[in-house]
Amino acid sequence: MSMDLYVLDPDIELQGIIDGYSSLRWRRRFFEPGEMELHVPATATNIALLREGNIIHRLDRQEAAIIEGVDIKSTDTGDEIAATGRMGSSMLDRRIITPTINFTGTVEDAMRKIVSDNAITARPLPHLVLGDSAGLMPTCSFQATGKNVLTTCTALGRAAPAGLRVRLDVPGRRWVFECYGGADRSVTQHDRPYVLFSDEFQNITGAEYTINTTGYANYAYVAGQDSGQNRVIVEVDQTNGEPRLEMWVDARDIQQAEGQSTEDYQAQLTQRGFEKLAEAAKAESFAADAVDTANFKYLTDWDLGDIVSFEKWGIRIDQRITEVEEVDEGGVTTITPTCGNPLPETLNLGSDT
């Protein structure tokens, strides 16, 4: 039994409802926009609804997807339309940071300022507003100009860590930018009930554990302005007792502003080092199909962004759920959480310039 999908136009006006589909893939992500893929019969009504720029809204999720791709083709079972897109926060990649931002404060306030200055108060994205502050505490000091708004917010979030989303408020006809954290529900804490995915609890199938240290670094030399012996270089050490694996970060785009203290400028270079080391983190993750049992129920006992525990093959990791993929095919829904830092789909081993 397919759920109803509400289709709205870019002005958040209801255009129609899709009440039958062959498959729906709804991939939620903590640090960056999630993804959606929908397959339906290519009826005249569905073709009219599933247009680039329209919005797919589910009443049971805070995220909504903006259609970016449409593919209509003939198959053995009839004509089919496939619509693909990303969740609402993808709209932030339509803006760059200009003029230059110099900022010291919390990561959440930094993201809110970047979005407000470049997509709300100036060059506003339609219907976008700031939501309430979540009061997240991680701090940063950075300088940015000409950088993509979404890319910058994602980098700040990964280094913090802090999640971001642009939630659809249909009654208010607006998109709401928010930062959010997650609760620590791992077996190592004692403040709240833990969540453990394991064979013992019989709540996972099809488990996969991966670790890949290709491109991994834990010590950064961040090079700022000037050249030769005068070049400003800071070192960022995240070895935590492990063998040192070094990387070079060319941060010449960060220039010391007039009147800016040396300490503040070095803090901005250090922040760039944190961000680049977050990108070069060890790819270690557990993923499995979660079986909704009485012990841990999706969206009630655990959710995207929470820190949980996975255990199998004598391996346990206690890390954040960074992705949840929901696939509904033929009325059968599979929920697959990914815990940890999955290998990027396109592994970029190029040097930073």
Output the DSSP codes for 3-41: PPEEEE-TT--EEEEE---SEEEEEEESSS--EEEEEEE
Could you count the other beta carbons within 10 Å of the beta carbon of residue 179? Answer: 26
Cα separation, 25 vs 14, whole angstroms: 22
What does the domain layout of the chain look like in residue ranges? 5-88, 91-180, 196-212+283-340, 219-279
Cα separation, 15 vs 57, whole angstroms: 11
Cβ–Cβ under 8 Å, residues 308 and 288: no
Please give the DSSP secondary-structure letter assigned to residue 93.
Answer: G
Mean pLDDT by 10 residues, the chain (353 residues): 90 96 96 97 97 96 96 92 98 97 96 98 98 96 94 95 97 98 96 94 93 95 93 97 97 93 96 95 94 84 96 95 95 93 55 37
Cβ–Cβ under 8 Å, residues 209 and 342: no
Q: Which residues pair with 35 in a beta bridge?
A: 27, 86
What is the radius of gyration, based on Cα positions, of the chain? 22
Provide the pLDDT for residue 1.
59
Provide the pLDDT for residue 76.
86
Cα separation, 277 vs 341, whole angstroms: 13
């609402």: which residue's tokens?
88
Provide the pLDDT for residue 350.
38
Q: Using alpha carbons, select from 95, 164, 103 the residue that is nearest to residue 139.
A: 103
Sheet holding 163-169, edge to edge: 128-130, 174-180, 163-169
Cα separation, 154 vs 159, whole angstroms: 9
Cβ–Cβ under 8 Å, residues 91 and 167: no
- Cis omega (within 30 of 0) for bond into 161: yes
* Crossing angle between the packed helical segments 149-159 and 262-279, to the nearest 10 degrees: 90
Backbone phi, psi, residue 114, to 5°: -60, -45
Residue range 91-180 in CATH 3.55.50.10: yes
DSSP, residue by residue, 231-249: --EEEEE--TTSPP-EEEE
Give the global pTM.
0.90
DSSP, residue by residue, 148-172: BHHHHHHHHHHHTT-EEEEEEETTT
Residue 136 φ/ψ region, left for φ over 0, alpha for ψ in the -120 to 50 degree band, beta for the rest: beta
Could you count the other beta carbons within 10 Å of the beta carbon of residue 38? Answer: 23
Q: Using alpha carbons, select from 88, 25, 20, 59 the residue that is nearest to residue 336.
A: 25
Cα separation, 54 vs 60, whole angstroms: 19
Element (H, E) at 269: helix 262-279
Q: Using alpha carbons, select from 169, 165, 177 the residue that is nearest to residue 87.
A: 165
